[in-house]
Amino acid sequence: MKDGINIDQDAVQDQMVPDDLNSLAVGSYEVPNPKTRNRYFYIFLILSLISILFSYFKFWINLYPAAILLFCLAISMKLIENNRIVTQNEVIELIANLIPHSIGYYSIALTFDFSLKFKLLKPIWTVIVYDHNNPPQKKSIVEFDSITKEIISDVYTEDIVDA
C-alpha cells in the first residue's frame, strides 16, 4: 500500500476537478504577501475611525461597538502578519545535511503554529524525505521554523517495511 491519495487521472478529468482541489496537481504553495495583509490593517483602522466620527457627530446612531470590533480586527490583522525567510525552493537545501540517508522523493508542507507571543502565527516547514531506492527503504521527517531556520523537533527516521 502506498502513502498518500491515489486518484486515477482519467477520473479527475471526467469529474472536472479544479486544479486547486486536484491532489495530482503539483506546484509551489504561495503564502499571501504580508504587504497585502497590511492593507487590511489600514482599511479596518480607517473604518473604525470613521465609525467613531460618525457616532460622535450623529447622535441618532451608535457605532461605537462597530468601531471597537473593527479596531480589534485591525490589531489582529497586524499580529497575524507573517514574514518568511525560507522559501519552498530553499527547504530541501537546508535540511540536506540533517537527513541520515540519501534524498529521493520528498514532500514539503507549510503549517502555522499558533502562539500568544507578539506574532500570533509562526510558519513551520514540515518535510517528509524518502531515500532514493525504489521502493524507498527509509523515511525521515523534519520540522523547522521558516523565520529563524531553527529545527523545531528532532529528525525522525524510520525504516519502511512492506513498501
The answer to whether residues 133 and 67 belong to one domain is no
Q: What digits encode the pLDDT tens for the residues 123-132?
A: 888 888 888 8
Q: Scanning the structure block, which residue is given the C-alpha cell 503549517?
A: 111
74 closest CA partner among 42, 49, 50, 52: 42
Is 18 within the bounds of a domain? no
Mean pLDDT across the chain: 78
The answer on 38 and 76 residing in a single domain is: yes
> Does this model's pTM top 0.85?
no
Neighbouring C-alpha atoms within 13 Å toward the C-beta of 144 = 24
116: domain range? 85-159
* pLDDT one-digit tens code per residue, 47-58: 999 999 988 888
Please give the tally of structural domains in the chain: 2
Co-location of 150 and 91 in the same domain: yes
Q: What is the CATH number of the domain that holds 95?
A: 3.10.450
* Four-CA torsion 87, 93, 96, 102, nearest 10 degrees: 110
What strand order describes the sheet that includes 138-145? 106-114, 121-130, 138-145, 156-159
Does residue 28 lie in a domain region?
A: no
- 19 located within any domain: no
C-alpha distances in angstroms, 50 versus 53, 61, 70, 77, 81? Answer: 5, 13, 10, 18, 24
